[in-house]
């Protein structure tokens, strides 16, 4: 083989894992349940580097030149869509945004056919938000492009959880041992589910707080008191140390981090809540309630917020709130993930520890 031919073959061959055993294939990012602690650490370290790029006067690096990222959003979004677009552009990728409205989806084209069409345009990464849980997983089964879940139904929002963890780590240095209280609509929250996977893997002490009607029934089988049940099967579950509290004052005591979740107003119509005013009175994060947490505890919210319902405006815009910081970190985390995906850092065959 000529030198040129050999170089071309090397370029086309899949990279080999460090142990030489398994070929490395691009890894879809669907949730954090299949992320090891080492992989989360890797993303958070990359995010630190990307934050430095964001602080430069000229925010542009050639890392993803020649790569194409398509954002495919079937559901409204401000933060996630814009931050993926910004992340891709800063890394010099070609970024194409497709939304349900204005595309052939309006003519009845299926998710499957839309995705095949986009893949035929040689997309390297397809970032998907969809109202139905499992839609990104469905796409990942037949697309060659890397699929990144940007939020699917009530299932998962892994990039949000990673930016939340980065924000926490940047304030405390370490996540392990911190008391993180997640308050709100646990039943429908994909943010809470992904944070549960990520934060437990990083060793946080998690308390979930919601009215009983907004606590998923399956959570009750695994969480709450750390008791040995079902012959130890419960205590072996990764969430067995997570506590459930229906009283917000008890939940917030000595918290290091308070994460309020968006109360999805449609839940009232579904009969889960008598009135939004009652929810706000019993569960809203107010200055008085924040005083129960540790001094300087962080206030987080994934956005968009219903100010005056799940969070008091004084808290949302107070000195302890890091809500806009979360948004900025969201750009850096998505840069880190795009880079890790394209470079093979996050790849099948590299799931150690």
Task: Compute the least distance from the CB of residue 222 to ligand CP, in Å.
Answer: 25
Give the residue among 44, 231, 198, 71 at the shortest CA–CA distance from 145. 71
Q: Out of 47, 71, 146, 160, point to the residue binding ligand CP (CB under 6 A).
A: 160
* Residue (68 or 149) nearer to ligand CP, CB: 149
Residue 78 contacts ligand CP per CB under 6 A = yes
Q: Contact at 8 Å (CB) between 263 and 188? A: no
Of the candidate spans 71-79, 110-118, 204-212, 229-237, the one that interacts with ligand CP by CB under 6 A turns out to be 71-79
Size of the site for ligand CP (CB under 6 A): 9
Residue reference for tokens 């010099």: 92
Judge whether 15 and 342 are in contact, CB under 8 Å.
Answer: no
Cα 109 to Cα 72, 125, 261: the distances in Å are 13, 21, 33
Residue 57 is classified by DSSP as S
Q: Give the nearer residue to ligand CP in terms of CB position, either 221 or 303.
A: 303
Q: Find out whether 100 and 113 touch, Cβ atoms under 8 Å.
A: no
Query: Of residues 80, 146, 149, 167, which one binds ligand CP by CB under 6 A?
Result: 80
- Closest to ligand CP by CB, 169 or 334: 334
Count of C-beta atoms within a 10 Å radius of residue 235? 14
How many CB atoms are located within 10 Å of the residue 295 CB? 7
Give me the phi and psi of 151, to 5 degrees please. 115, 115
Q: 81 to 140, contacts with ligand CP by CB under 6 A?
A: none
The phi, psi pair for 330, rounded to 5°, reads -60, -35
- The one-character DSSP state at 105 is G
Q: Does 304 bind ligand CP (CB under 6 A)?
A: yes
Q: What are the two backbone dihedrals, phi and then psi, of residue 288, each rounded to the nearest 5 degrees?
A: -60, -40
Q: Are 245 and 208 in contact (CB under 8 A)?
A: yes
Residue closer to ligand CP by CB (options 79, 201) is 79
Least Å distance, CB 304 to ligand CP, is: 6
Q: Which stretch binds ligand CP (CB under 6 A): 6-14, 72-80, 115-123, 177-185?
A: 72-80
From candidates 27, 79, 130, 179, binder to ligand CP by CB under 6 A = 79
* CB of 164 vs ligand CP, minimal distance in Å: 10
User: What minimum distance in Å lies between the beta carbon of 161 and ligand CP?
Assistant: 10
| Distance between CA atoms of residues 328 and 318, nearest Å | 18
If one asks whether residue 303 binds ligand CP (CB under 6 A), the answer comes out as yes
Mark the segment that binds ligand CP (CB under 6 A) among 7-15, 33-41, 76-84, 86-94.
76-84
Minimum CB separation of residue 34 from ligand CP in Å reads 21
Based on CB atoms, which residue is closest to ligand CP, 135 or 347?
135
CB 110 within 8 A of CB 132: no
Q: 14 in helix, strand or coil?
A: coil
Smallest separation (angstroms) from ligand CP to the CB of 271 = 24
- Please give the biggest Cα pair distance in the chain: 75
Segment interacting with ligand CP (CB under 6 A) among 49-57, 218-226, 232-240, 301-309: 301-309
Q: Is 302 in the site for ligand CP (CB under 6 A)?
A: yes
| Residues that bind ligand CP in the complex, under the rule CB under 6 A | 77-80, 151, 160, 302-304
């Amino acid at each position: 083989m000529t030198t040129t031919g050999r170089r071309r073959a090397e370029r086309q061959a899949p990279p080999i894992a460090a142990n030489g055993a398994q070929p490395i294939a691009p890894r879809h990012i669907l949730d954090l349940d299949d992320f090891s602690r080492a992989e989360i650490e890797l993303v958070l370290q990359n995010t630190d580097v990307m934050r430095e790029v964001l602080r430069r006067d000229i925010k542009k690096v050639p890392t993803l030149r020649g790569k194409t990222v398509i954002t495919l959003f079937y559901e409204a979004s401000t933060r996630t869509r814009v931050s993926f677009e910004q992340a891709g552009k800063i890394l010099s990728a070609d970024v194409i945004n497709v939304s349900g409205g204005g595309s052939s989806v309006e003519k009845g084209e299926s998710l499957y056919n839309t995705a095949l069409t986009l893949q035929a345009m040689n997309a390297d990464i397809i970032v998907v938000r969809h109202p139905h849980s499992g839609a990104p997983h469905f796409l990942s089964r037949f697309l060659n492009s890397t699929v990144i879940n940007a939020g699917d139904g009530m299932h998962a929002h892994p990039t949000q959880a990673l930016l939340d963890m980065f924000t926490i780590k940047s304030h405390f240095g370490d996540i392990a041992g911190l008391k993180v209280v997640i308050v709100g609509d646990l039943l429908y929250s994909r943010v809470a589910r992904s944070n549960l996977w990520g934060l437990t893997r990083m060793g946080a002490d998690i308390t979930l707080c919601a009215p009983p009607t907004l606590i998923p029934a399956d959570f009750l089988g695994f969480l709450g008191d750390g008791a040995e049940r079902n012959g130890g099967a419960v205590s072996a579950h990764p969430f067995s140390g997570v506590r459930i509290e229906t009283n917000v004052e008890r939940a917030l005591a000595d918290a290091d981090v308070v994460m309020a979740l968006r109360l999805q107003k449609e839940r009232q119509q579904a009969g889960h809540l008598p009135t939004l005013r009652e929810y706000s009175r019993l569960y809203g994060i107010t200055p008085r309630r924040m005083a129960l947490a540790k001094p300087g505890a962080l206030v987080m919210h994934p956005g968009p917020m219903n100010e005056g319902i799940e969070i008091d405006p004084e808290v949302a815009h107070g000195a302890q709130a890091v809500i806009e910081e979360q948004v900025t970190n969201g750009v850096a985390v998505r840069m880190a993930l795009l880079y890790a995906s394209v470079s093979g850092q996050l790849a099948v065959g590299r799931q150690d520890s």
